[in-house]
């Protein structure tokens, strides 16, 4: 239910990705610290001043992230005003992670995340399109009605490179080694395996149940 550094090393990513196994509906009991989520020993910086920050850590080629995206998107649209949600693309090694980190931040800089973020997943997992080089990305932009020159200029910009570096620092602070994963307010961390601990194998969507509970914990100022 998560894609780890070890999975990246063992899967033949160019030929076919690991698949997500369907599972039964999951029980929705109260999440337990140390079982369904962990508390960070050293809190990570939270950038959403005055709000509860929630981060999704993802990788475009991760099949579990692709499967998680529809539920995550629907959940994010219903968040209350005191919660700030953002996505952070991970980096496990230079290629292909660096390229796809910058792809996400290019979409963000151009205001295209609402329209093209999901299409990147579809291109990779449904159309089996490789998005690992500058030429791949320029072709993707052109196919989706975006000026490829503007797209690649933004992709190569200092702002996008800086965002990518910040993403690496954020993931490092949360000690991310698997995706999809979610962090809450720099204090708590969960992923698909943790969220489903003790339950039959199933969907990573249970992370959202855990995150909702952690948001409530932060909101109440609980240290329990």
Give the CA dihedral 90, 95, 98, 100, nearest 10 degrees: -80
What per-residue confidence (pLDDT) applies to 29? 63
Domains in the chain, number: 1
What per-residue confidence (pLDDT) applies to 156? 97
What per-residue confidence (pLDDT) applies to 220? 87
What per-residue confidence (pLDDT) applies to 6? 55
What per-residue confidence (pLDDT) applies to 5? 54
Range of the domain at 109: 3-219
pTM for this predicted structure: 0.85
Q: Residue 143: inside a domain, yes or no? A: yes
What per-residue confidence (pLDDT) applies to 4? 56
What per-residue confidence (pLDDT) applies to 223? 46
What tens digit of pLDDT does each residue of 17-70 get? 333 333 333 345 689 999 999 999 999 988 877 899 999 999 999 999 999 999
Residues 6+ apart with CB under 8 A from 141: 147, 148, 151, 152
Here the tokens at position 63 are 């099949």
Q: Give long-range contacts, CB 8 A cutoff, 24+ apart: 19-27.
A: 19/63, 20/63, 20/64, 20/67, 20/204, 21/201, 22/202, 22/203, 23/200, 23/201, 23/202, 23/203, 24/200, 24/202, 25/202, 26/196, 26/199, 26/200, 26/202, 26/203, 26/205, 26/206, 26/209, 27/199
Q: For the chain, which residues score pLDDT lower than 50?
A: 8-27, 222-224
Cα–Cα distance measured from residue 123 to residue 69, given in angstroms and rounded to the nearest whole number: 14
Q: Residue 7: inside a domain, yes or no? A: yes
Q: Residue 224: inside a domain, yes or no? A: no
Write the CATH number for 144: 3.40.30.10
* Cβ proximity of 188 and 6 under 8 Å: no
Q: Residue 201: inside a domain, yes or no? A: yes
What per-residue confidence (pLDDT) applies to 46? 83
């Amino acid at each position: 239910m998560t894609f780890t550094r070890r999975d990246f090393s063992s899967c033949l990513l160019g030929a076919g990705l690991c698949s997500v196994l369907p599972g039964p509906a999951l029980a929705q009991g109260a999440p337990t610290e140390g079982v369904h989520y962990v508390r960070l020993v050293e809190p990570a910086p939270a950038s959403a001043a005055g709000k509860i920050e929630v981060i999704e850590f993802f990788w475009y080629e991760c099949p579990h992230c692709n499967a998680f995206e529809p539920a995550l998107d629907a959940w994010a649209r219903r968040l209350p005003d005191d919660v700030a949600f953002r996505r952070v693309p991970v980096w496990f090694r230079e290629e292909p992670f660096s390229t796809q980190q910058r792809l996400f931040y290019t979409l963000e800089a151009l205001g295209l995340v609402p329209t093209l973020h999901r299409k990147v997943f579809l291109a990779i997992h449904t159309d089996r399109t490789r998005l690992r080089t500058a030429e791949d990305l320029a072709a993707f932009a052109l196919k989706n009605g975006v000026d490829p020159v503007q797209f690649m200029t933004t992709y190569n910009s200092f702002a996008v490179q800086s965002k990518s570096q910040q993403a690496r620092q954020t993931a490092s602070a949360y000690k991310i080694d698997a995706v999809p994963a979610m962090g809450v307010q720099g204090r708590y961390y969960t992923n698909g395996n943790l969220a489903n601990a003790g339950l039959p194998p199933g969907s990573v969507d249970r992370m959202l149940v855990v995150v909702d509970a952690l948001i409530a914990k932060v909101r109440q100022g609980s240290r329990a």
